[in-house]
Amino acid sequence: MSKGDTMNPDGSRVETRHGAKAGTSARRSMGTRIADLLHTAWVGATGRRSRTVLAALGITLGVAAYVALSGIAASNQAALLTRLDALGANLQVVTPGQDASRQPIPLPEYAPKTLARQPQVERVGVFGTAPEHVKIFKNEFVPGSNGNALALSVMRPGALAAVGASFAQGHGIDAANEDLPVTVLGSEAAYRLGVTGVGDRILIDDAWYGVIGILDPLPQAQGFDSSAIIGLWYAKTHYPDQAASIGRISAIYVRTKPGDAESLRRLLAHAANLTGSGVSVNASADLSEARNTTDGSLTMLGLMIGVIALAVGGMSIANMMIVTVMERRGEIGLRRALGATPGAIRMQFVTEAAMLSAFGGFAGVMIGAGAAAGVAMWARQPFALDWESLPLAWCAAVLVGVLAGIHPASRAARLTPTEALRGE
């Protein structure tokens, strides 16, 4: 009969469940030890408020500096990349190629759809072939012999969005007005025609067109600055003798995601024409390379700033914990005399460091995000902050605090009761 078993009057053995009780006792003991550890660490961390504030302040400033500087760097990066994109860093222009006799090879009608299906493509804008010998004037009183070097462009709805055009006034041509005699003027065309606002009208080949929009200057597509743009549907109905040629695609503006310009060029060429020939793809490779280099450099800069800021916060926690151990030698000696093990002392101070880092990290995240938003608003830049990285920043702060508290905690654990009380 094993120890702990009992016998019934009839001689049968009754087994007691010491194993289950021992397991329950062990779990309760573990839970009690964790609760005691947290309580002891909390009392130690908040026993002296000034010390607690100073200890947490270091990690607060470190995390706040990391979040604020990374946010400011990200905002500057977004503003710079937006400017490079506006200059055409991620804009590719697909146009018809030429055969051996230098005759243009028309782009297939499926080209816009196959281009739009590519994962690297964000927007696609299609322009048709403009009618020939078009004259554009302010009114009928201008002699027809006068020339103003203005061009006519024909677009499908939404094409200007792919170009990256912005409007100084009005709006563009969409599905609701593409069959109406309306036009969008480039900035230079509006200036030459003397048009100062939407609602005015101009004369194109003896037909009146209402001005519904005036574009801002387009550095990435300067040809549109001196153009009057009309809808493809209306152009085909107004010029029935040229409807077939107007319907042919003259250019497809493709807004892509950042990437290698040469790889994107080959991809778009095969997407526009499945044979891979008869297509010309033009892009600013220098701008694209500059964008990629700038993006990578600024990202690395933000990462290094974050590492330095967290390191400074960690050293602050370590220094403060060393001072705390020196101040609390008497408490350490008393706890050792009452039976606390070196491991318990070590865990107490590591837990205190983790608590201080958690409080300081949370405050630092809030302060840093607010500072980054304020600077972006003051500089009139797009506010760019990786919100998903904020919990990681907080976790990193806690980890740094724990690592910084290991040495002071080990130093405290090595003190014997006699040494600690003698020092006190």
* Between residues 318 and 108, the one the model is more confident about: 108
* Between residues 145 and 133, the one the model is more confident about: 133
Whether 14 has a pLDDT exceeding 50, the answer reads: no
The residue-averaged pLDDT of 76-82 equals 68
Q: What is the pLDDT of residue 284?
A: 53
Find out whether 317 and 400 touch, Cβ atoms under 8 Å. yes
Residue 61's nearest CA partner among 404, 387, 424, 361 is 361
Strand (E) or helix (H) holding 98: strand 91-98
- Which pLDDT band holds residue 339 (cuts at 50, 70, 90)? confident
DSSP-derived pairing of the beta strands 182-185 and 167-170: unpaired
DSSP line for 221-271: -GGGGGEEEEEHHHHHHH-GGGHHHHTSEEEEEEEE-S--HHHHHHHHHHH
Q: What is the pLDDT of residue 211?
A: 95
The lowest-confidence range among 12-16, 142-146, 151-155, 344-348 is 12-16
The residue-averaged pLDDT of 264-279 equals 80
Residue 399's nearest CA partner among 306, 311, 302 is 311
- Which pLDDT band holds residue 182 (cuts at 50, 70, 90)? very high
- Which pLDDT band holds residue 156 (cuts at 50, 70, 90)? very high
The residue-averaged pLDDT of 212-239 equals 89
The lowest-confidence range among 55-59, 84-88, 237-241 is 84-88
Mean pLDDT of the chain, nearest integer: 76
* Between residues 57 and 293, the one the model is more confident about: 57
- Which pLDDT band holds residue 19 (cuts at 50, 70, 90)? very low
Find out whether 309 and 70 touch, Cβ atoms under 8 Å. no
The residue-averaged pLDDT of 106-119 equals 89
The residue-averaged pLDDT of 204-221 equals 89
Whether 20 has a pLDDT exceeding 90, the answer reads: no
- Which pLDDT band holds residue 53 (cuts at 50, 70, 90)? confident
Q: Among residues of the chain, what percentage have pLDDT more than 90? A: 15
- Which pLDDT band holds residue 154 (cuts at 50, 70, 90)? very high
Q: What is the pLDDT of residue 341?
A: 76
Find out whether 231 and 184 touch, Cβ atoms under 8 Å. no
Q: What is the pLDDT of residue 420?
A: 56
* Separation between Cα atoms, residue 217 and residue 183, nearest integer Å: 16
Q: What is the pLDDT of residue 399?
A: 80
The lowest-confidence range among 92-101, 264-273, 344-353 is 344-353
Q: What is the pLDDT of residues 3-13, one digit of tens each?
A: 445 454 445 45
Q: What is the pLDDT of residue 267?
A: 85
> Among the ranges 18-32, 42-56, 366-380, which has the highest mean pLDDT value?
366-380
Residues ≥6 apart with Cβ < 8 Å to 337:
417, 421
The residue-averaged pLDDT of 400-412 equals 73
Q: What is the pLDDT of residue 397?
A: 73
Whether 158 has a pLDDT exceeding 80, the answer reads: yes
Return the DSSP state at 60.
H
Q: What is the pLDDT of residue 30?
A: 46
Q: What is the pLDDT of residue 39?
A: 64
* Between residues 276 and 183, the one the model is more confident about: 183
Tokens 């005691």 found at: 36
